[in-house]
Amino acid sequence: MYSKASLFKDQTVRLAHGNGGCLMRDLIEQIFVRHLQNDLLDANTDAAFIPFVVNAGDLMISTDGFTVEPLEFPGGNIGSLAVHGTVNDLAVSGAKPLYLTLNAFIEEGLELKVLDRIVQSMAQACVECDVKIVTGDTKVLRRGQGGGVYFATTGIGQRIAKHSLGLNNIKVGDLILLSGTAGDHGTAVMLAREQFGLMGSLKSDAASVLPITEALLEFAGLRFMRDPTRGGVATIAHEISRVIKQSVRLYEATMPYNEQTIVVCDLLGYDPLFMACEGRVLAVVAPDCADAAVSKLQQLGYADAAIIGRIEQGRAHAFLETELGGERILPELEEDPLPRIC
């Protein structure tokens, strides 16, 4: 057990916390190991032992990096975001996430109390997602060379999908499902920066999507899943159209939005279809199971789940069918539509 006085003897991270000596050991043990400890995490080894049952299923692996400003935002922080983001990449690929690795790049001057809160949130997210961080590394960057803290993660899971998932499985006539409101994470992070003189109660949608993916995997007509993070729903629509070389039509009339997201985006000139989500699933499903899939998610508590589009024969492009019956081409992102949020 570590006393608070011992834990915060230094108020901020120093370069010496990354030199391999006693301060680095204290940082690892008193913050990371203290919160993330489990039966497989051993800070005294360079590699983790992870048990797998032979012939229990294929292994899947994913890797990701996380940077966000501010580090803490309504509905989460970079710690919980790193866990959820890695878990979600495995989940939408048809896997049950099991183990994570963690690399932390910490900027000199970061308040240790902030880092402690972030890692505590990371630990709570691991418990909620039933995953374990089994190994990791820390580096300290000079002041001005980082955004407080960056995380790089690798996730390992076991494939549970009974049929293959992927863009190449998508067919003309398939329908597009979204599990919840679009663009909340990106909008909430913008509000948290208070750069635009706007304030609100909107929270990020950051969360594990594993309950969503497990429910959708019950349907044989499931073709593809993706979490619409950077670039949002519209960017995934472009990815689909580019790979299958067909048209993707999105429906404005059925697209679920949080009212605050719409208001903020309208005021600032952003399109919520391009704003990041961190707890949503976009899925492509066969027409004969689409309604049942939506009903299943709504029964599980995802009240905003809806059919938001379909795959059509035609040239490869993505467009929005407006509520008035018109069509608007959705441009593909070339430049960042707003200051980077992740």
For the segment 65-81, what is each residue's pLDDT rounded down to a tens digit? 999 999 999 999 999 99
Report the pLDDT averaged over residues 110-139: 97
Whether 340 has a pLDDT exceeding 80, the answer reads no
Q: What is the pLDDT of residue 198?
A: 74
Mean pLDDT value of segment 308-335? 92
What is the reported pLDDT for 337?
Answer: 54
Domains present along the chain, CATH in parentheses: 4-159 (3.30.1330.10), 167-329 (3.90.650.10)
Residue 230 in this model has a pLDDT that exceeds 50: yes
DSSP single-letter state for residue 229: -
User: Does the pLDDT at position 242 exceed 50?
Assistant: yes
pLDDT at 37 over 80: yes
Rounded CA-CA distance 342/338 in Å is 11
Give the three-state DSSP class for 193: helix
DSSP per position, 232-290: HHHHHHHHHHHHHTSEEEEETTT----HHHHHHHHHHT--GGGS--SS--EEEE-HHHH
Q: What is the pLDDT of residue 2?
A: 45
Per-residue pLDDT of 140-170, as tens digits, reads: 999 999 899 999 999 999 999 888 899 999 9
CA distance between the termini of the chain? 34
Beta bridge partners of 318: 248
Order of strands across the sheet that contains 247-251 = 222-226, 282-285, 175-178, 306-312, 247-251, 318-321, 327-329
- DSSP calls for 68-123: -SSSEETTEEHHHHHHHHHHHHHHTTTEEEEEEEEEEEEETT-BHHHHHHHHHHHH
Q: Do the bridges between strand 318-321 and strand 247-251 make them parallel or antiparallel, or are there none, so unpaired?
A: parallel
User: What gap in Å lies between CA 116 and CA 34, rounded to an integer?
Assistant: 10
Q: Which residues contact 37 (CB under 8 A, 6 or more apart)?
A: none
| pLDDT confidence of residue 341 | 54
pLDDT of residue 223: 98
Encoded tokens for 113: 């109390």
Q: How far is CA 160 from CA 9, 165, 258, 281, in A?
A: 46, 11, 32, 17
Tokens of 289: 């199971």
What is the structure's pLDDT at 182? 98
CA within 13 Å, CB half, 163: 12
pLDDT higher than threshold 80 for residue 197: no
Task: Tokens 């995490």: give the residue.
Answer: 41
Per residue in 198-210, pLDDT tens? Answer: 777 899 999 999 9
Residue 55 has pLDDT above 50, yes or no: yes
What is the average pLDDT score of the chain?
92
The percent of residues above 70 in pLDDT, for the chain, comes to 94
**295 — pLDDT class (breaks 50, 70, 90):** very high
5-12 contacts at long range (C-beta below 8 A, 24 or more positions apart): 6/30, 7/31, 7/34, 7/112, 7/116, 8/112, 8/113, 8/116, 10/112, 11/111, 11/112, 11/113, 12/108, 12/109, 12/110, 12/111, 12/112
Beta-bridge partner residues of 111? 12
Q: Can you list the positions of beta strands (E) in 109-254? A: 132-141, 149-159, 175-178, 222-226, 247-251
Token pair listed for 174: 């398939």
240: phi then psi, degrees, rounded to nearest 5: -60, -50
At 342 the pLDDT is 56
DSSP helix/strand/coil, 67: coil
Answer yes or no: is pLDDT of 5 > 60. Answer: no
pLDDT score recorded for residue 50: 86
Q: Measure Cα distances from 321 to 171, 239, 269, 329 in Å.
A: 20, 18, 20, 9
Q: Is the pLDDT confidence value at 316 over 90? A: yes
Residue 193 has pLDDT above 90, yes or no: no
Q: What is the model's pLDDT at position 191?
A: 86
Least confident interval from 15-19, 271-275, 303-307: 15-19
